[in-house]
Amino acid sequence: MKTLLRGRLLSFHADPAETKSNHTYIEDGALIVDEGRIVARGLYADLAAPDMAEVDHRPHLILPGFIDAHIHFPQVQVIASWGDQLLDWLNRYTFPQEARYGAAAHAEAMAPAFLDLLLAHGTTTASAFASVHPGSAEALFSAAQARGMMMIAGKVMMDRNAPETVRDTPQRGYDESKRLIQRWQGRDRLRYAISPRFAITSTPEQLQAAGALAAEHPDLHIQTHLSENLAEIDYTLSLYPRARDYLDVYETYGLVGPKTLLGHAIHLNPREIARIAETQARAVFCPTSNLFLGSGLFDAARLREAGVVSGVATDVGGGTSYSMLQTLNEAYKILQLRGQKLHPLSAFHWATRGNALALGLADRIGSLQAGFDADLVVLDCRATPAMALRAEAIESLAEELFLLQILGDDRAVAQTYVAGRPMKPAPVLTR
């Protein structure tokens, strides 16, 4: 049955940093949704018809659902762990928590909770790392399938510099990834990402196995971490003494191409930036994580000028919020420290169409267009008393978006639609 969703529609068709005419805003707009797709977008007055169910979201904004370009599923109980930078944080908090996902029952309990958190925050698609255990990827894919979500995910490959409970071997990592690819790649809205965690936790033999998988499956995403932290870079170069730089490690094993998502990408040399641009790999900015772990300040302008396409992501649990709004808030502040500006239109483009482009999914999600998947977020700029008070003084769409970006979080998400179905978990009633 067709449903009409009424509200203030906002969708981007170009990057505001590059093109003046970049978005469509329809004050009294409507989307007609049928069988998971947007079948029409326009003025409410033009689309309303007596045979359709109608949901009136006025005065809220309706945007494409947020996309999170880098997040760790087995870190739902790592988020907000005190005191360390990257390598100590991994050893003290992350690896012990991820070890628990060796028990299928734990992974199966956490996966629905993880995805419901994403949906509560308005995120409808993510590129997610599971733990090393294939059962954790199974649990995540199953839960995403049950929700009808478009999800990119993979089990991390890691065979050294971590406790045995979170290690595989080159052969096991290859075999387990292969089996998961056969089971999940292209099933419903799911995609597999080959996921060597990072150079420190993979032997050369394992990166070679990951490269073999990539060569056998050139259509798959590859997700990993690059140059997040200075101690990480030093350690990496000591483990790979023949590499010209950190990126060269991944290049050597055939892991850098247009489907490669390089998490963090903060401390890069000019050769690395030029190669990322040339290979069309993506850099992924993880602002809340970069601040929380004291990693450094992402240089968005430098990468853009070099022709690199960047995504933006929460990186929970190094990141401190599931909210792409809060992620854009911290992105704004990091870029302030860099002397760069993140305009609210650019910010909302980034979290929607921009990330769809970064993930190579911009033909299905990230904009409100007829034929696209009906993944949507409904945003309320008056969701809290502080927001409502500030909202009294806004005079433009850009000001409203900036208010959402700086003060918004899951409370500002009035509804989330996945393939046309409302999915925002109901609030828990306390009385």
Binding site for ligand GUN (CB under 6 A): 72, 86, 90, 94, 197-198, 225, 228, 289, 315, 318
Would you count residue 196 as binding Zn ion (CB under 5 A)?
no
Rounded CA separation 200/93 (Å): 17
Partnered with residue 31 across adjacent β-strands are 5, 41
Would you count residue 263 as binding Zn ion (CB under 5 A)?
yes
The 163-182 site mask, x for binding Zn ion (CB under 5 A), equals --------------------
Q: In this complex, which beta carbon is closest to Zn ion, that of residue 55 or of residue 230? A: 230
- Contact by Cβ (8 Å): 348, 15: no
- Residue 147 CB, nearest distance to ligand GUN (Å)? 24
Rounded CA separation 239/241 (Å): 6
* 416 contact choice in ligand GUN, Zn ion, none (CB below 5 to 8 Å, kind-dependent): none
And the tokens for 91? Answer: 């050893």
Tell me, by CB under 5 A, how many residues bind Zn ion: 2
- Residue 193 CB, nearest distance to Zn ion (Å)? 12
Q: In this complex, which beta carbon is closest to ligand GUN, that of residue 11 or of residue 223? A: 223
Q: Name residue, tokens 């199953």.
A: 142
* 346 contact choice in Zn ion, ligand GUN, none (CB below 5 to 8 Å, kind-dependent): none
**Window of 56-64, 110-118, 178-186, 311-319 that interacts with Zn ion by CB under 5 A:** 311-319
* 170 contact choice in ligand GUN, Zn ion, none (CB below 5 to 8 Å, kind-dependent): none
* 329 contact choice in ligand GUN, Zn ion, none (CB below 5 to 8 Å, kind-dependent): none
* 159 contact choice in Zn ion, ligand GUN, none (CB below 5 to 8 Å, kind-dependent): none
Q: In this complex, which beta carbon is closest to ligand GUN, that of residue 289 or of residue 415? A: 289
Q: In this complex, which beta carbon is closest to ligand GUN, that of residue 57 or of residue 72? A: 72
Q: In this complex, which beta carbon is closest to ligand GUN, that of residue 71 or of residue 190? A: 71
Nearest-CA neighbor of 329 among 316, 311, 348, 315? 348
- Residue 153 CB, nearest distance to Zn ion (Å)? 13
Q: In this complex, which beta carbon is closest to ligand GUN, that of residue 23 or of residue 282? A: 282
**Window of 34-42, 182-190, 307-315, 364-372 that interacts with Zn ion by CB under 5 A:** 307-315
CA dihedral 48, 49, 53, 59 (to 10 degrees): 10
- Residue 233 CB, nearest distance to Zn ion (Å)? 15
**Window of 133-141, 150-158, 172-180, 313-321 that interacts with Zn ion by CB under 5 A:** 313-321
Q: In this complex, which beta carbon is closest to ligand GUN, that of residue 118 or of residue 158? A: 158
Cα Rg, the chain, nearest whole Å:
21
Would you count residue 154 as binding Zn ion (CB under 5 A)?
no
And the tokens for 106? Answer: 């734990």
Rounded CA separation 231/200 (Å): 11
Q: Residue number with the shortest CB distance to ligand GUN?
A: 318
| Length reported for the chain | 431
Would you count residue 315 as binding Zn ion (CB under 5 A)?
yes
Would you count residue 287 as binding Zn ion (CB under 5 A)?
no
**Window of 138-146, 159-167, 256-264, 347-355 that interacts with Zn ion by CB under 5 A:** 256-264
- Contact by Cβ (8 Å): 228, 266: yes
Q: Which residues contact 429 (CB under 8 A, 6 or more apart)?
A: none
* 400 contact choice in Zn ion, ligand GUN, none (CB below 5 to 8 Å, kind-dependent): none
* 192 contact choice in Zn ion, ligand GUN, none (CB below 5 to 8 Å, kind-dependent): none
Q: In this complex, which beta carbon is closest to Zn ion, that of residue 177 or of residue 289? A: 289
And the tokens for 330? Answer: 């911290």
- Residue 260 CB, nearest distance to Zn ion (Å)? 14
Q: In this complex, which beta carbon is closest to ligand GUN, that of residue 263 or of residue 366? A: 263
Q: In this complex, which beta carbon is closest to Zn ion, that of residue 148 or of residue 154? A: 154
* Chain centre distance of CA 169: 28
Residues that bind Zn ion (CB under 5 A): 263, 315
